[in-house]
Amino acid sequence: MDAQSHFVTANGIRMHLRRAGRGPTLLLLHGWPEFCRTWRRVIPRLADSFDLVAPDFRGFGDTEKPDPGPTDAVTADLLAQDMRALLDALGLDRPVGFVGHDVGAYVMQAFVRAWPERAAGLFFFNCPYPGIGRRWAEPDHLKEIWYQSFHQMPFAADLVGSSREACRLYFGHFLRHWSGDPHAFDEDFEAWIDNFMKPSNLQGGFNWYLGARRSRLAVIRGEVPALPPIETPTRVLWGERDPIIKVEWMDRLPDHFTNLEASVAPKAGHFVQMEQPELAAVEIKRFFGRVLAE
């Protein structure tokens, strides 16, 4: 990754991030099973135009794990608070652009609802949002979301981390199955296993699913309170072949984002930024070139 490693204290934790480039700031927010390395292919393509900040969320990567064991405290709201504190710690008081997907997409939505004045624009890959609703748990989709329940088991991290080979088998499934190109992570795979074999990193990631349990069930049950649509300029680029966050679920995006541009990334899966970094970078640059100039 063509970016420098930094540690910053924000919201009471020691947070790790990678930073590169010059210009308007973009905050790059990863998902699961990821950490800041997931941006390594787009950072060199954007660094000539933007100041790129790619943090590890609490519990992930090299950011501090204040709760090394299971906890349900890690919610989208808490991670959004972390991101606001990070921006403050870096002295970034002007609105910034947000880029993310998966866990990062939840955090971006929580952030912009709490502090809309701090976000200049939102760029999502494969965006989980309330409009998906009960489709998360349709009978044909249950085979895809099993891991979300497994991660809530108290023995999950010990089982997956029982050996390097067990960890390789587990993460290999997601990185291949969720990608439009099953070889997208081949050159990064051992770095992924190195990351998740670090102390508390497995549980740190699994804690997201403990923290998200209540809101996840509310979405599936159709019990999410109606919220006003997000008015911040929004771009969604959705991987056509994502089996976990399906492309047909784009249909209700206009009900939740009023200033929206959305399109499909052909042949891409869940990890558009890793699978098609050139397309991802071109679209990020085009969108924020307009939004940050307004």
Catalytic residue among 16, 30, 101, 270: 270
256 catalytic per annotation:
no
Q: What does the angle CA 288 – CA 280 – CA 34 come to, to the nearest 5 degrees? A: 110
Find, among 221, 273, 256, the residue nearest to 45 by Cα.
273
6 catalytic per annotation:
no
Catalytic residue among 51, 82, 102, 242: 102
CA–CA dist 254, 289 (Å, integer): 22
CA distance from start to end of the chain:
30
Catalytic residue among 56, 62, 209, 242: 209
30 catalytic per annotation:
no
| Cβ neighbours of 146 (radius 10 Å) | 9
Tell the residue number behind the tokens 């249950």, with chain if given: 142
Catalytic machinery residues: 102, 209, 270
